[in-house]
Each structure stands twice: as structure tokens, then as C-alpha cells.
Amino acid sequence: MTLEIIDLTIVFHSFTLGPLSLRIDEGIMVVLGPTGSGKTTLVNSIAGILSPDKGKIILDGLDITRIPIESRKVGYVFQDSALFPHLNVNQNILFGLSSREIQNEERIAMVRKIIGDLGIENLLHRRIDGLSGGELQKVSLAQMLVRKPKIILLDEPLSHLDPPTKDKLRIELRTILKKQRIPAIYVTHFEDDVLALADSVSILNYGRLEGTGDLEQILNSSQPSSSFLSHLTSGTNYITGKVVKSEEGLTSFEIGSHILYTLGEFPIGTKIGVVLRHEDIILSKEKIMTSARNILFVQVTDIVYKSNVVDIHLKINGLEIVSRITKLAMKDLDISINDNIYAIFKASAPHLVRKEN
Amino acid sequence: MYLQRSHFSGFNLTISILVGVLILYISYPLLGLAYLGGSINWVESLTRPETIHAFLLSLGTATISTLILSIFGIPLAYALARFHFRFKFLLRLVVILPLVLPPLASGTMLLGVFGPYSFLGRTIPLDYTQSVLGIIIAQTYVASPFIILPSQSAFEAIPDRYETMARVLGKRKSEVFIRVSLPLAKTGILVGLLMAWIRSIGELGATLMMAYNPHTISIQIFEDNAIGGIRNSVAGIVWVVILSIIALGVFLYLKRSRPIGLGW
């Protein structure tokens, strides 16, 4: 299934989106941009809520540019819940199915599976007004998934949630979308959403596409094509690895030939992505006895002075990370490029943003 | 924790006085009715054939008028709430017109276009006046804003995203209207229907012009009072008051059961 947007232009009040072109074949594309950049306008045009002034939208080989909303087979989870208040959860989930589909045993089995995967079986007979923010979005997702859409559009569905709920739901969201194998476009202005969800990233700013590519490409880009793009990774290291051992609340995961430690328990073989702040990495010229579980012997590859701090770029075989220290600490350590030093951080420092089986 | 009771103030006193005056003014005629009650044979009065006939006729014609208005008025309300077109404001003015016109003026105009010597009267010669049809024409005309305006407000109170979501979920516009818009606007529409029905029952001015006969309950009260004063018309009044109390109860019940999160 491919979604292709070709030279799309929409003039909406005093704002112009485009012309822009995008393509998504599979996975989750996160469209990142500040408020007012045109993210919602973009997904609304894909859904058919807004008609483009120019350009084409091709979905699975079919030009849907002028096709009515109800015929597009697109799923859409709004930022504000659009679950019907006069129906209960079960009725909301089944709303998009025809009476023939509801009587089809295979389809009903699929519906039950989706409900089970989302963990909302206990909500089925509840009214919508009694649900929490996270529950609302799960039910909205179920409502979309049971229709087997060709693509799912998500317009910042987690933005109203508190951080711990958001963190948990992001992981669940990615898991379920990957399991369903439905491509998705997730629009957001939170960089954390990119790290947690994206297979590919597109940056939108003032109605223009400033950059697009796979997540790894974007993160590893040494010359970001926009200032907004460079802001995406400033301040954090993004590390992915595979779990090799997990017990008593401590997990060791493998990156190349290295083993790192983080808190939490995961099944062996799980691929996890963690974010590690630059400030959380301590540097030492000598190996010291410490409670920290992560001690890496690294090489300094670059030293970048900023206004009040210094970013030390470090490398060890397949792993590249950045540590941030004060100018005074830099003076005390007296390190130079190509020096070998110890990079140390606690197991509690990495923050889990992604988890895949 | 205790709620702080508002202490006695000049503002509260002023409000109380104003409220008291208006409540007294509204309930004074009812008190007068109760006073008259002692000197009337109620059973004979309330069961007078002319009064019963007029009351039942009003109930029947009001119900038919309300049904007709619901078929045409609710879609009109939806169009005013959701469609965007040029000169929409003119349409809104036309809808409000029966509300601002004096009923006698409405009745006179209706007589002009439905009367036996009008174009319609000569082209399609039906009994538009001095008939049950004439009553329905008059009631439908004056009660129309009472369905259209509350229904329009009820539709406008529904956030767009519910209807948009229904279409994203594959429903055609007609299905969206039936399965989403109508249920979510239900309370406002029902209140509008109730108000239109009550207004139809109480309609006098336009009906007087279009169909003095057969007598509706309002015309019966009018005639009974003209012949024998208030003592003669009190039975008809009581029937209408009883109906109003029942309608009020229904109205309060509908208000209480409005959909959560939406207006009305």
C-alpha cells in the first residue's frame, strides 16, 4: 500500500500549504512541525475534509483527490475525541462496519482481537463520557482499525495526555500499528513522538517541507537541512539495541559489541530505543569505582564549544554519543580530540521511548 | 466544609422584589380562576360537548401541524445550521417572520392567498378556509419558527468533528444525518416540537381569520367569554391550563435528559 502526494497545494484562509510531495509505503511517518505549520491541513486533505487547490493524492494506485471522504478508506484519529457521545464503546467501535460485516464471523473475530490487543475489553459497555484520555484514544484507534483502512492518520492524538500516560501509549500505539501492518501518518510538534514512533520523518514549517527521510538518516545527519530539524536531536542521544538479559528490574541490551544497562524488564530479543541526555554522561580520565552500571572506554572525536557548555563527541566501535559538560569541567579534565576516556552513566539515565518484539 | 451562605444584601432584596412582582402578575389570573371555581358546576362545565369537541379538535390539528412542520422544518433547520450559501441571512429572516408578525396579520395574509378568490383558491379549489384544513394552515404558519429555531440551535451545538468522523468511517451524508446529527440534536428538536405543538393549540389570531369554524379551543374560549363572560369560558381555560402543566412536565424532563457535553 502506497500513499503518494504529488505537488499538493492548499490555500486555506491566509495560509498556503505546499506545493509538497511525499511518499509513504509502510511503517509510521511522523510529520513534525510547529503549531501553524500545516500539519492538520495536510492530513485533512488526505482524509478528504479539505480539497486541495492543486496536486494529487494517490492511495494504493487510485487517485483519491476528488473522491468523497466516505469512499477513501482512510482512518483518522483526531486530536480531540470524536467518539459519539450517544453511543457506548462497543457501538462506537462497530459504527463504521456495515450490518453485513457485523454478521461476518471472521470480521467479528478480528474486531475481538483488536479490542484484546488494545486491552479495552472491560470498557465495551461503558459510556464515552466516563473514559479517561488514554482510554478514549484507544477506543478511537479500535474504531479505525476494525474498518481495515488503507492508511491511518493521527493528528496529535496524545497531546492532551499527561507525560507518563503518553509515554506508555506511544509504545502501545507503535506496537499495535506495526502488528496491524497499516501505514500511518502521525502529525505532532513534540520531538519525543518522533523518537518513539517514527520509521520516517518529514519536517513541515510554514507550509513547506523542509526535510524528509528515514529516522536513522535524520538522526545521523551532520548537516540538518533546517534549524527545526537540528533541534530534533540536540540535547539527547538516541540509542537502539536488543535485549540480551533482563531480571530484577535491570535490563542489559546489546549495541554492536557493547552491552548497556537500563532499568525495566523486557523479553529477551526485544528491540528497544532509549533516549540518553547529554548531561547524564559523566566523563573520567581514569576508571573509577562507581555505582553506575554503564562504563564505556571511548574515544573523543570532536569538541564543540557552546555558550555555557561543551559538547564532547565520543565514539566506540558502532556507538556514537555526546556528553555535555561545563567549561570549568572541560578545563579540569583537559581532554583533546583522539583522547581515550571513560564515559559513565547510571542504568536509570536512559529513558525508554520505543519497544518492539 | 460548609457552603458560605450569602448574607442579606440590598441586591438580593431588589431581585426578590422584582421576582415577586412578576410571579404575582403571572399567577394572579390563575388565582382569579380558582376564586371563580367555587361558584361553578365543574362537572357540567368541563364536559360541555362544545368545549370537549373544541379541545379535541385543537389537539388533533396541532398534532398534524407539528408533524408537517417536523418533516419540513427539521431539514430546514439543518440546512441553516450546516449549509453555506449566498443570501442565507434572507432565509433566516423569512423563518423568523411568523414569530414577529401579529397573528391577526398572519391570518389576514393567509386568507389573502388561500381564500376562495385567491389564485390558489381558484386554481385548486379545496376548502382552505372555514375548515380543519384552514386551522392546520394557520397553526403550521405561526408555529413554524418554534420548531426551526430550537432545532437549528441544537444542530449548531453539535461539533463538526462528529459528523466528519462519521463520514471518515464510511457513512454517506444521509446516514450521518440519521445516525449522528438527529440523535445528538434530539433533545433540542423534541423541545422545539413540544413548543410548536403548544403554540398551535393556543393559536387564536391567524385561526380566527382562516377558520372561525369549526371552533378550536382558543376560539371556543373567545366565543364563550363574548357570550357569557369569564364564568362561561372558565372550563375551556382549565382544560388548556391542565394541558400546559403536562407540557411543562415533559419540557422539564427533556431538559434534564439532554446529551452530556452538548448544548441544550
* pLDDT, tens digit (0-9, with 9 covering 90-100), for A304-313: 888 888 999 9
* pLDDT, tens digit (0-9, with 9 covering 90-100), for B72-103: 999 999 999 999 888 899 999 999 999 999 99
Q: What does the pLDDT read at residue A140? A: 94
Mutate to test the interface with A, among B161, B162, B168, B174 (most CBs of A within 10 A): B168
Q: Are A246 and A336 members of one domain?
A: yes
Spell out which residues of chain B touch residue A73, defining contact as CB-CB under 8 Å.
Answer: 170
Q: What does the pLDDT read at residue A308? A: 85
Q: Are A221 and A255 members of one domain?
A: no
State the average pLDDT over residues B107-118: 92
Q: Are A349 and A232 members of one domain?
A: no
Q: Please answer whether residues A98 and A106 qualify as being in contact, where contact means their C-beta atoms are separated by less than 8 angstroms.
A: no
Q: Are A142 and A10 members of one domain?
A: yes
Q: What does the pLDDT read at residue A165? A: 84
Confidence class of residue A227 from pLDDT cuts 50, 70 and 90?
low
What ipTM was predicted for this assembly?
0.80
Q: What does the pLDDT read at residue A354? A: 82
Tell whether B165 lies on the interface with A, counting CB pairs under 8 A.
Answer: yes
Distance from CA of B262 to the nearest CA of A (A): 9
* pLDDT, tens digit (0-9, with 9 covering 90-100), for A103-122: 889 889 999 999 998 999 99
Q: What does the pLDDT read at residue A194? A: 86
**Is the per-residue pLDDT at A357 higher than 80?**
no
Closest Cβ opposite residue B261 in set A68, A70, A85: A85
Integer Cα distance of A128 and A106 in angstroms: 27
**Is the per-residue pLDDT at A329 higher than 80?**
yes
Integer Cα distance of A353 and A173 in angstroms: 12
Tell whether B160 lies on the interface with A, counting CB pairs under 8 A.
Answer: no
Q: What does the pLDDT read at residue B264? A: 34
State the average pLDDT over residues A130-143: 92
Q: What does the pLDDT read at residue B263? A: 39
Spell out which residues of chain A touch residue B179, defining contact as CB-CB under 8 Å.
Answer: 95
A75–B168: do the CB atoms touch at under 8 Å?
A: yes
Q: Provide the number of CB pairs (under 8 Å) joining chain A to chain B.
A: 53
Q: Are A291 and A323 members of one domain?
A: yes
State the average pLDDT over residues B17-24: 94
Q: Are A195 and A228 members of one domain?
A: yes
Q: Are A60 and A168 members of one domain?
A: yes
Distance from CA of B164 to the nearest CA of A (A): 8
Domain end call among A206, A236, A266: A236
**Is the per-residue pLDDT at B262 higher than 50?**
no
Tell whether B178 lies on the interface with A, counting CB pairs under 8 A.
Answer: no
B259–A86: do the CB atoms touch at under 8 Å?
A: yes
**Is the per-residue pLDDT at A349 higher than 70?**
yes
Q: In this structure, what are the phi and psi dihedrals at residue A269, rounded to the nearest 5 degrees?
A: 95, -15
Q: Are A144 and A50 members of one domain?
A: yes
Q: What is the CATH number of the domain that holds A140?
A: 3.40.50.300
3-state DSSP assignment of residue A304: strand
Residues of A with CB under 8 A from a CB of B: 47, 49, 68-76, 78, 80, 82-86, 95-96, 127, 129, 143, 147
A69–B261: do the CB atoms touch at under 8 Å?
A: no
Among A128-137, B141-150, B165-174, B255-264, the minimum mean pLDDT is found in: B255-264
Give the residue among B160, B143, B155, B144 at the shortest CA–CA distance from B189.
B155
Q: Got the DSSP string for A232-263?
A: HHTTEEEEEEEEEEEETTEEEEEETTEEEEEE
| DSSP classification of residue A147 | T
B261–A129: do the CB atoms touch at under 8 Å?
A: yes
Q: Are A36 and A55 members of one domain?
A: yes
Read off the pTM: 0.81
B165–A78: do the CB atoms touch at under 8 Å?
A: yes
Beta bridge partners of A8: A20
Q: What is the CATH number of the domain that holds A310?
A: 2.40.50.100
Q: Are A242 and A232 members of one domain?
A: no
Closest Cβ opposite residue A80 in set B161, B169, B170: B161
User: Based on the structure, what is the number of domains in chain A?
Assistant: 2
State the average pLDDT over residues A28-49: 92
**Is the per-residue pLDDT at B240 higher than 50?**
yes
CB atoms within 10 A of CB A87: 17
Spell out which residues of chain A touch residue B158, defining contact as CB-CB under 8 Å.
Answer: none
Could you state, in order of their start, the residue ranges of all structural domains in chain B? 41-256
CB atoms within 10 A of CB A191: 19
Tell whether B174 lies on the interface with A, counting CB pairs under 8 A.
Answer: no
Q: What does the pLDDT read at residue A230? A: 59
Spell out which residues of chain A touch residue B182, defining contact as CB-CB under 8 Å.
Answer: none
Q: Are A137 and A285 members of one domain?
A: no
A86–B165: do the CB atoms touch at under 8 Å?
A: no
Q: What is the mean pLDDT of chain B?
A: 89
Sequence-distant (6+) residues with CB within 8 A of A172 are A118, A138
Tell whether B161 lies on the interface with A, counting CB pairs under 8 A.
Answer: yes
Tell whether B29 lies on the interface with A, counting CB pairs under 8 A.
Answer: no
Domain end call among A236, A263, A286: A236
**Is the per-residue pLDDT at B40 higher than 80?**
no
Q: Are A231 and A332 members of one domain?
A: no
Spell out which residues of chain A touch residue B167, defining contact as CB-CB under 8 Å.
Answer: 68-70
Q: What is the mean pLDDT of chain A?
A: 89
Domain extent for A347 = 238-356
β-pairing, A294-305 vs A340-345, is antiparallel
State the average pLDDT over residues B228-245: 88
Domain end call among A236, A268, A293: A236
Right CATH for B41-256 from 1.10.3720.10, 3.40.640.10, 2.40.50.250, 1.20.120.420: 1.10.3720.10
